[in-house]
Amino acid sequence: MSIDVLALAPDAQVAASARPLAVPSAWRSYGVDDDFLWGLFGLGQNPYQVRVALDDRAATCSCPSRKVPCKHAIALQLMHAASLVPPDPRPEWVKDWRGAGRQRELDDSPEAVERRAQQRARTAEAREDTVQSGIAALREWLDDLVRAGIAGLPSQGREWCAPAIVRMIDAQAPGLSGMVIDLAWVVASGRPTWTEEAAERIGALHLLIELASHASRTGSATALEDVVRSRVGFRTRQGDVRENPPWEDDWVVLLQNAIDDEDGQVNTVQQWAWARERREWVIAVAYAVNAPATPLLPLGVELRGTMHPYPAGSPRRVLPGLVDVTGPPAPIPLPSTWAEALAGLEPLLSSDPWQRQFPLGCEGVRPAAAGASWVLLDEAGHGLPVRDDDGLDRALAVSGGKPFGAICLWDGNVLRLGVATPFDGTPELVG
């Protein structure tokens, strides 16, 4: 099917350029019905509108390219060929399109509505069967991995994990392929604790696929099962997220993390904001393909406005709505000890055991050397490891060597210092 789609490209350059764009994370939204395929490419303010007629593959795109079909239209059809585009009601900007001189209106007759509903159900069922087949294969792979032991994995390069990664991609389970890639990265890291970390990753994978299989059999939809489906790779459309009732609050945007995937094609920016009234952290995530990702929120400011929550996850992922900057960030409440801070993570881990990065803060900490490493000691004298990077150096500078409040990202092993709150408690970005 992919070869047929690429044959529609006007030249080899368009075909080659389309391949890296055929990933869901590069698109704001997309959908398909009986007649048309459509998508909004790009996560900026003015995404390209891409439309394809399924009968004759006539295509149009709002990008400036003079080639027809352009790389965006080919990429969208590649995703459709890979069963990554879900059935969806046609948006207004597609309804108004007159492809190839045709005038098509959405058939709202009861028969047509029922036909589209049946098509959506068939597509969802086929996707579920594909994912469950992949989960069964991953369970066998994990059993073989555990039976053989992990001690010899570093000497095997990527040969031991490549088949599982490819199989999960074919199974339309990108979340599972990402977890296998993460396991491979841990094995290749060579850290003294890599065996313990790898064992934990294997256990987390096993738990996820068992819960995913159970959810598929029972058909239930609890909050945990929503998290499970998200972790497996079932995507929630941004249009559906925006239909959820928004949360209105004062948002303090303090932490940011940029991630590049292995081949450098997909770039991610994560941002964490503290919700004053809800008294919880939320996360906003932006993606870009073959370009730097543009953050969804301004960093180091306080906002007033709305965020649309995704169905599940801890911290809850949000999609910004209408927000206005109200000024620089004011102090936020912080625990007085690391023990209190870590105890606060328990409900988050209970609701999403696969989350690996959390905002974590503590009042009155001071850096201390621990051999060749550094820790942040709290007032009780208990410490957590902290990265020895520019963030630590800047925190020492703004605090004048005195104890300060620390707001960090915690991955279970080490803190990455992002904000220091010296003197009057006003947050200062340091990392």
Q: Are residues 224 and 267 in the same domain?
A: no
290, part of any domain: yes
Q: Does 118 reside within a domain? A: no
Q: Is residue 413 part of a domain?
A: yes
Instruction: Give every CB contact of residue 349 below 8 A, 6+ residues apart in sequence.
Output: 314, 355
Q: How high is the pLDDT of residue 239? A: 74
Query: Across all residues in the chain, what is the average pLDDT?
Result: 86
Last residue of a domain, one of 55, 78, 106: 106
Answer whether residue 107 shows pLDDT above 70: no
For residue 28, the enclosing domain spans 2-106
pLDDT over threshold 80, residue 119: no
Q: Is 417 strand, coil or helix? A: strand
The H or E element containing residue 163 is: helix 162-170
Residue 228 exposure: Cα atoms within 13 Å on the Cβ side = 23
> Is residue 333 a part of any domain in this protein?
no
Q: What is the DSSP string of 238-281?
A: HHHHHHSPPEEEEEEEEEEEEEE-TTSSEEEEEEEEEETTTTEE
Instruction: Give the H/E segment covering residue 303.
Output: strand 301-309
- Do the beta carbons of residue 402 and residue 422 sit within 8 Å? yes
Residues 87, 151, single domain; the answer is no
**Residue 266 CB contacts under 8 Å (≥ 6 apart), including other chains:** 23, 25, 26, 260, 287, 288, 289
Higher-confidence residue: 121 or 278?
A: 278
**How does residue 210 score in pLDDT terms, banded at 50, 70 and 90?**
very high
- Domain shared by 227 and 130, yes or no: yes
Give a three-class secondary structure readout of 310-374: CCCCCCEEEEEEEEEEEECCCCCCCCCCHHHHHHCCHHHHHHCCCCCCEEEEEEEEEEEEECCEE
Reply yes or no on whether the pLDDT at 275 is more than 90.
yes
112 part of a folded domain: no
Q: Which residue has the tokens 């906003």?
A: 284
Domain count, the chain: 4
Based on the domain organization, do 259 and 280 belong to the same domain? Answer: yes
pLDDT of 68 over the 80 cut = yes
Whether the per-residue pLDDT at 117 is higher than 90: the answer is no
| pLDDT bracket for residue 255 (50, 70, 90) | very high
* Residue 353 domain-assigned (yes or no): yes
| pLDDT at position 4 | 60
**Alpha-carbon Rg of the chain, whole angstroms?**
24
Q: Are residues 296 and 385 both part of a single domain? A: no
Percent above pLDDT 70 for the chain: 91
Identify which of 287, 320, 269 has the alpha carbon closest to the alpha carbon of residue 43.
287
pLDDT digits (tens, 9 = 90+) for 378-418: 999 999 999 999 999 999 998 888 999 999 999 998 999 99
Picking from 106, 139, 163, the residue at the C-terminal end of a domain is 106
pLDDT value for 99: 44
pLDDT value of residue 214: 80
292 vs 267: CA distance, rounded Å: 6
Domain boundary among 305, 327, 349: 327
Rounded Cα gap, residues 285 and 194, in angstroms: 28
Mutual angle of helices 223-232 and 194-218, in 10-degree steps: 120
In angstroms, the CA 358 to CA 297 distance is 18
Please provide the distance, in angstroms rounded to a whole number, between the alpha carbons at the two ends of the chain: 46
The three-class DSSP label of residue 415 is strand
In this structure, the dihedral spanned by the alpha carbons of residues 233, 39, 322 and 44, taken in order and rounded to 10 degrees, is 90
Collapsing DSSP to helix, strand or coil, 384 comes out as strand
d(CA 374, CA 386): 6
Share of the chain above pLDDT 90, in %: 51
Q: Given this model, what pLDDT does residue 97 score?
A: 66
CB atoms within 10 A of CB 322: 10
CB 205 within 8 A of CB 161: no
More confident residue, 24 or 215: 24
Flag whether pLDDT at 169 surpasses 50: yes
Judgement on whether residues 66 and 10 belong to the same structural domain of the protein: yes
CB of 74 closer than 8 Å to CB of 14: yes
Please tell me the predicted confidence (pLDDT) of residue 211: 92
Same domain as 253, residue 180: no
Query: If you average pLDDT over residues 83-108, what whole number do you get?
Result: 66
Q: Verify that 311 and 371 share a domain, yes or no.
A: no
Q: Is the pLDDT of residue 104 over 50?
A: no
Long-range contacts of 261-266 (CB under 8 A, 24+ apart): 262/181, 264/290, 265/20, 265/23, 265/289, 265/290, 266/23, 266/25, 266/26
134 and 204 share a domain?
A: yes
pLDDT band at 128 (very low <50, low <70, confident <90, very high): confident
pLDDT over 60 (residue 98)? no
Looking at the structure, do residues 355 and 266 belong to the same domain, yes or no? no
- Both 264 and 228 in one domain: the answer is no
Distance CA 139, CA 69 (A): 41
Spatial contact of 168 and 140, defined as CB atoms under 8 Å apart:
no
Range of 33-47, 74-88, 156-170, 367-381 with top mean pLDDT = 367-381
User: Which residue's structure tokens are 């409900």?
Assistant: 347
What average pLDDT does the segment 182-190 reach?
Answer: 92
Q: Which two tokens stand for residue 311?
A: 């169905």
For the purposes of burial, counting CB atoms within 10 Å of the CB of 144, is it exposed (0-12), middle (13-18) or buried (19 or more)? exposed
pLDDT of residue 218: 59
pLDDT at position 1, please? 37
pLDDT in tens, 323-382: 999 999 999 999 999 999 999 999 999 899 999 899 999 999 999 998 889 999 999 999
The verdict on residue 280 lying in a domain is yes
Query: 105 in helix, strand or coil?
Result: coil
> What is the three-class DSSP state of 76?
helix
Residue 292 and residue 203 in one domain: no
- Asked if the structure places residue 181 within a domain, the reply is yes
